[in-house]
Structure 1
């Protein structure tokens, strides 16, 4: 019989960012004083949903009380978990809700679990719970799996979604210190992160580029999609509840959808109970971060709820020169205008001040490794990046009745980046131990505005004795970019074996004398797209569901680019009208836990921003995505599993044409590569397979090849750009709470493993052998409010290239062994 005897202790704080964290906590705390006053006798709890015995154990540790029970009493029982501030009695009633058990208070101050009909019962007032409504919020569930997802319109469980979806929950983000988009996707099964030499990140799924396929609270935008050198899209995770990642064709989301999938950022909302979290971290290479997150009701009735998040990160890197400081502010208000109508507003500000090191490392001319130190940077000491992003949110949800709802959401973002940097480029003669390669400089001033809205009606209706679902909606987005950029050569040379950061620093006028690319005239682009969509889920029989969807899209693009060196203009004007993107799926419930499915999705993606040597825009990419699989929802939703086979066929795929001199706006010509195919399978498990254990594990096998090409070239001689996508990938992370005398400890471990990958430039091949990187974590709960954790990455200090490029540039080392200590308080 388990007995919990935690003893609260006093926490001594000695972290560099304590003063920052405490000062941030004070201001938003004043905002919530009325709600906090009502909860003076309450304590904040964070108990994961899952097996009841595990939930009771977690609660006992956090509350500092002894709870006695027999494991047979809780076998096969689950709890919805607990998040927020409660008295001990109220918390126990909520944890034991619908379990047939109650907690009896003992003379020693502890509790014992007994059947509900034995003795007096602690009763709880009416709970505001609607079993017919799924809540996709991951915050507070303390789980690595999602109760539901929203990326495909409406709210459905993972088992009900006939495509591959991974959800990176709030607990997963916190446990692994995943603070940026690239860190999140690097830990997402099936996703490859690729470093651009110009500082951005490319993300690949199933062999294809995600191409900026992002949603914010379900609103599709092209943020980061129009990559014009300086547009290195990133976003801090401080103000997001979760990240939903769809793998496979995403055309139903926005019409012009990527073959790779899409990413949905779902922001944090005001909580029903007052809560404050302070997080302070310090790690390798002077990596410091402080964050305060506070929220709760702003009036006595709780109809107005607020949220405020502030974060500051100051860090250096494992390579020379580079450093970065991030400032993040976020505020949100949700207002229940009536019992059936809720308005939501949010505003986020992100500021980056950095000294970057771009362009990566070179190789020998035959593609072999120079074996340079991982601290090597071949850039200039005066490198500078200034970036600001403002994002505004507004949404409305109205419930007509228990079956029908209206949803409206809108988003606006403005992103400004000013970058100046020096870099080195050139392959090294084979066998040399000293070399001279070229030095260059780049300057970019980039502005981007994105507007978007999405609105739909979602409802259930009865027909033929069964319940069906219909979604009808429309959305639209507009992106405007304004980009000055220029590249130029610098005098002197760089020795990669003994690098110097002392570069000549050109003036702004120097870039305009004879730029290698770009010039004095900006590149301007405006892209507008809008469409209507419908999705019908028909219950053909009790175990059989047919999903039919379609979208009709309109697309407009206008761009003007000038290359000063060649006095070369590219003026693109393109449009697509009434493009139909169908979707179809069949789901069959094998039993209450397992569902088999098959799905088909069309691919349509304009690529008018890319031109061939004749200055003609390429035709849109088209194709189809096929997927069959099986999904399981086990242990009352505490565990989700999936296995699928996929095949994607894509035609008219743009590839860089290195054989043509093309002084276009971005410096590259493109060609229509014909027809390519990616296929493979994925297996994933997320949630709690065992009491006290949270797990996310996924294996992906991807095979890519050309089927044919429009050119008179043997397809086997062409390189599918995604050759740098490994054929085999395995990503695992687990977190386990110890029992008995060690129950205050939680230990975590995981790995990122992949097979070899390569990239070919001309006839030269650059390779990276397969590798495995191990990570770990230990957390100790000091008392009900405070935890301290130590995270370690690349524990065995594996030396490898996270990104491989060409012999002359673009090769980036993965991070060496590093550690982060995190102190967190929840109140």
Structure 2
């Protein structure tokens, strides 16, 4: 059978089997409390549920007895309550009936995915279920991996606006900032390279920026996630889930923002049904922001436009389309941070506002994305989903930089290179087609997912060089430059293709025991400047077991393997390194409290990896200034992660995270030194009537970078000692539709290095800053 035949046959078999394997269950509920009744019916159905608890207050449940089928049971239970149920991707979602339908009886329970776990209309810091880890829509307690979800409420309360903010809010996620717009994210000692948008694997350009205004939430799966993402490091998978056009009625919001360093901005968010029935819906989000910086002369602005469209093509078929464009323009763009030393080998200690760059330096970044999703749910709850995603990123950047020279201590003179202009274009096409099948076997409910993923990522660019080196004194820096005439200094191009066929199943071995088995067969191709690499039929297995100790607590264990080509990492001779391989193990305890409003997890992990690329000291690749790498064998990363998130009661939100790991090679040598090994994050918010007050603290352990003293040529350790940052927020509802929110970050104005890099440079983290937002909803 050909590969194409296998691809087409697998999802088809799922659908053919669904009609004979699905069965009904009988439901009987006696309790008067509607909230308790929904919990009981969800437990019988073995499905998670999602509901805003405010809409259940004071409502009574209709007693039901021996009613066949979940849909009919929910219909009878909710009759006359003004509520209805939506079975959304194997999750029971309770929503209000529109007012103009209140006099009519509730018809069939909808089995379409309008809800899709959206967190926009929830005040919680947790979520009922997610599918990023395995494609199975599982509750957090059922997922046999360490996970973190930043809900829409958490994003708003903590004023999380960027990828950098996501990392700061998540224990175990390290962001290293190189240039002003160049960030690298690490977890468990490895670089994060699993990224998804709406569950579709994509790439993140380290030189790029992204606004979170278009996203509903961020789902993070720590560790290896090759089953759903393909080849990658065992660090973490970060899934950004877009906002959707779900409202049948016209509604919107307008927000005005001001803040430190001359920051100001505005945004508008409009949603509406586009026909009388509301079966066609649209949404548009537009925003503009501008700000200076604590760094001299640096400023940036961003523009975002986002549109979403949804159409119910039938009772059980949904079409979703999105389009977005984001522009970021950074002027007086600084290069490679601040020098660690003077040329005589003495330590430098520059003011955090210092900017040793040229006034013609800039960084322009544009992202255009479009997506289409078609999903159909059959009457037996089998589902077929087809996704397509397109992302185009353009960079136009001019740098004046020098990352290894040092200023003269007497004159202060520091010489930067001539101007470098980088023009880069990156396009990503991705397709994900899969089917989900609930079935019964041995009088138990199970689920199978099977599908295909394909992605192609193509990058091309050209370097230009022009002008003269810039020399000035760091004691009185003059950034004046003359716009040069550029000449080409070379081109580059690369293309990555991945094709994967995957399947995963959840088996209910007993009422309290679940087994999850999956596998992925992948082909990976890479071409850089006509140098080709191909790895075929790589198999990625996954296995997980979840055992319920009782209704509140469960224990789990999971295993998967690791495969990651690392052709972009070169040794000192310029040769690509071999692919890294290994295994990932995890075990943990998960719990839920207060009617599943609060979730907690304790996870222990061990990652065994060979052929890991590590920095080869201060060596560079032959005939370049690029960092050289070498292979480390027998690398083991192990540690613990703790998460607690959700609501203690209707007024009190909490979010706590702790992460600790160590990563060493077979000789016991630490493989990563320039990131914190231990991180703790804690934030909480309490709401009393119209006033909400919140506070948070982020702590991390010390880290160091090995630097070569320019005078003695000896290696020295440059430390950032452990530090903590305190953030506070307050929100007051001036009216039902008008609120004012103030966030203060780094309340005590701590001075710290956000990164030490290249063995020669450092960068300060943000000092104290304030943001104030006025939000009007209608």
Q: TM-score, normalised by structure 1?
A: 0.79
2:237 aligns with 262
Q: 1:197-346 alignment to 2 at 5 Å?
A: 197=179, 199-211=181-193, 213-224=194-205, 232-274=207-249, 275-346=251-322
1:787 has 2:726 as partner = no
SS for the counterpart of 2:330 is: strand
Give me the whole-angstrom Cα distance separating, in 2, the residues matched to 1:474 and 1:122.
41
Are 1:93 and 1:122, in contact at CA under 8 Å, matched by a contact in 2?
Answer: no
| Unaligned 5+ runs, structure 2 | 1-33, 36-48, 64-77, 93-115, 709-714
Offset, 1:150: 2.3
1:25-84 CA deviation, whole Å, 9 max, x = no partner? xxxxxxxxxxxxxxxxxxxxxxxxxx99xxxxxxxxxxxxxxxxxxxxxxxxx99327xx
> Once the 2 structures are TM-superposed, how far is the Cα of residue 592 of structure 1 from its aligned partner?
1.3
Counterpart among 603, 617, 630 of residue 644 in structure 1: 603
Tell me how far apart the structure 2 counterparts of residues 500 and 804 of structure 1 sit (CA, whole Å): 25
Deviation at 1:261, TM superposition (A): 1.3
**Aligned pair partner of 2:362 in 365, 384, 394:** 384
Deviations 1:424-477, CA, capped at 9 Å, x for gaps: 5456589x4653222123210000000001111112111112111111111010
Q: For 2:121, which of 140, 161, 165 is the aligned residue?
A: 140
1:823 to 771, 774, 777: 774
Q: CA deviation at 1:181?
A: 1.5
The worse-fitting range, judged by mean Cα deviation, of 604-613 and 322-331 is 604-613
The 8 Å contact of residues 253 and 777 in structure 2, kept in 1 or not, is answered as: yes
Query: 1:565 matched to which residue of 2?
Result: none
Residues 1:499 and 1:675: Cα distance change in structure 2 (over 3 Å): farther
Q: Indicate yes or no: 2:664 matched with 1:753.
A: no
The farther-off stretch of 408-417 and 602-611 is 602-611
Counterpart Cα distance in 2 of 1:610 and 1:799: 33
Q: How far apart are 1:334 and its partner, in Å?
A: 0.7
Residue of structure 2 in register with 1:767 after alignment: 719
Aligned to 2:15: none
1:726-756 Cα offsets, whole Å, 9 max, x none, are: 1211111111112xxxx21110100111111
| Aligned: 1:361 with 2:329 | no
1:666 and 1:557 mapped to 2: Cα distance?
A: 23
Question: CA offset at residue 189 of structure 1?
Answer: 2.0
Structure-2 separation of matches of 1:684 and 1:357: 37
The one-character-per-residue Cα deviations of 1:517-565 (angstroms, maximum 9, x if unpaired) are: xx2x3101111111101111111111111111110000111111xxxxx
In 1, Cα distance between the equivalents of 2:136 and 2:420? 45
Instruction: Tell me the SS of whatever aligns to 2:155.
Output: helix
Aligned to 2:471: 493
Distance 1:626 1:293, change over 3 A: same
Q: Secondary structure of the equivalent of 1:173? A: helix
C-alpha displacement at 1:349, in angstroms?
A: 0.6
What is the rounded CA distance, in whole Å, between the counterparts of 1:677 and 1:490 in structure 2? 47
Q: Where does residue 701 of structure 1 map in the other structure? A: 660
Distance (whole Å) between structure 2 residues aligned to residue 144 and residue 659 of structure 1? 43
CA contact (8 A) 2:284 2:307 kept: yes
Could you say which residue in structure 2 is the equivalent of 1:529? 498
The residue aligned with 1:67 is none
Unaligned runs of 5+ in 1: 1-50, 53-77, 83-91, 102-120, 225-230, 513-518, 561-570, 709-714
- Structure 1: how far apart are the matches of 2:624 and 2:117? 43
| Shift of residue 793, structure 1, vs aligned partner | 0.7
Contact 1:607–1:618 (Cα < 8 Å) also in 2: yes
Report the alpha carbon displacement of residue 612 of structure 1 after superposing the two structures with TM. 3.0
What is the rounded CA distance, in whole Å, between the counterparts of 1:79 and 1:661 in structure 2?
53
What per-residue deviation string (whole Å, max 9, x for no partner) do you get for residues 554-613 of structure 1? 0111111xxxxxxxxxx5210000000111111100111211001111111111233334
The Cα of 1:403 is off from its aligned counterpart by 2.8
Matched ranges for 1:605-624 at <5 A: 605-624=564-583
Please say if 1:726 is aligned against 2:676. Answer: yes
The question of whether the paired residues in 1 share the 8 Å contact of 2:413 and 2:472 is answered with: yes
Partner Cα separation in structure 2 for residue 590 and residue 150 of structure 1: 23
> Equivalents in 2 of 1:181, 1:357: separation in Å?
20
Q: Could you tell me which of 387, 399, 414 is aligned with 2:377?
A: 399
Cα distance in 1 for partners of 2:499, 2:239 equals: 18
**1:551 matches 2:520:** yes
- The 1:615–1:792 alpha-carbon spacing in structure 2 relative to 1, beyond 3 Å, is closer
Report the Cα offset of residue 407 of structure 1. 1.4
Is the contact between residue 136 and residue 150 of structure 1 (CA under 8 Å) also seen in structure 2? no
Structure 2: how far apart are the matches of 1:693 and 1:192? 28
Question: What's 1:373 paired with?
Answer: 351
1:189 alignment partner in structure 2: 171
Return the alpha-carbon distance in structure 2 between the equivalents of residues 572 and 414 of structure 1.
24
| Residues 1:192 and 1:662: Cα distance change in structure 2 (over 3 Å) | closer
Separation in 1 of the partners of 2:436 and 2:79? 39
Shift of 1:617: 2.4
**Residue 336 of structure 1: how far off its partner (Å):** 0.6
Could you tell me whether the CA contact under 8 Å between 2:706 and 2:759 is conserved in 1? no
1:557·1:574 contact (CA, 8 Å) conserved in 2? yes
Distance verdict in 2 for CA 1:659–1:364, change over 3 Å: closer
Name the CA shift for 1:398/1:665 in 2 (closer, same or farther; >3 Å). farther
Cα drift, residue 636 of structure 1? 2.0
8 Å CA contact retained: 1:419, 1:445: yes
In the aligned structure 1, how far is the partner of 2:754 from the partner of 2:575?
Answer: 35
Number of residue pairs aligned between Structure 1 and Structure 2: 684
Which of 147, 155, 161 is residue 179 of structure 1 equivalent to?
161
How big is each residue's C-alpha offset from its partner over 1:195-250, in whole Å with a ceiling of 9 and x where there is no partner? 12373110111111103x211111111232xxxxxx51221111111111111001
After superposition, the CA RMSD in angstroms is: 2.6
Distance 2:587 2:401 in 1: 47
Query: Is the CA contact 1:279–1:290 (under 8 Å) kept in the aligned structure 2?
Result: yes
Q: How many Å separate the matches in 1 of 2:684 and 2:700? A: 18
Task: Tell me how far 1:304 sits from its aligned partner.
Answer: 1.0
* Distance in structure 2 (CA, Å) of the matches to 1:802 and 1:478: 34
Q: Distance in 2 between matches of 1:159 and 1:367?
A: 54
Name which of structure 1's ranges 650-659 and 386-395 shifts more when overlaid on structure 2.
Answer: 650-659
Distance 1:331 1:294 in 2: 10
Q: Secondary structure at the match of 2:338?
A: coil
The structure 1 residue matched to 2:551, chosen from 577, 592, 596, is 592
In structure 2, relative to structure 1, the CA distance for the partners of 1:314 and 1:592 (3 Å cut) is same
Distance 1:126 1:803, change over 3 A: closer
**Corresponding residue for residue 167 of structure 1:** 149
Q: Output the TM-score relative to the length of structure 2.
A: 0.84
Residues in 2 aligned to 1:149 and 1:172: alpha-carbon distance in whole angstroms? 17
1:458 pairs with 2:436:
yes
Instruction: Return closer, same or farther for 1:670/1:806 CA change in 2, 3 Å cut-off.
Output: closer
Distance across 2 between alignment mates of 1:694 and 1:125 = 28
Check conservation: 2:281, 2:310, Cα contact below 8 A: yes
Alpha carbons 1:426, 1:438 under 8 Å: kept: no
* Paired position in structure 2 for 1:625: 584
Equivalent position of 2:51 in the other structure: 80
Kindly indicate whether residue 703 of structure 2 is the aligned counterpart of residue 744 of structure 1: no
Worse-superposed segment, 313-322 or 760-769: 760-769
CA contact (8 A) 2:606 2:637 kept: yes
Partners of 1:181 and 1:169 lie apart in 2 by 14
Deviations along 1:742-779, one digit per CA (max 9) or x if unpaired, are x2111010011111111113522211000001000111
* Structure 1 pair 428–649 and aligned structure 2 pair: CA distance change class (3 A): same
Q: Quote the Cα distance in structure 2 between the aligned partners of 1:557 and 1:661.
A: 23
Tell whether the 8 Å contact from 2:580 to 2:610 is kept in structure 1 after alignment: yes
Is the 2:59–2:81 contact (alpha carbons within 8 Å) kept by the matching residues of 1? Answer: no
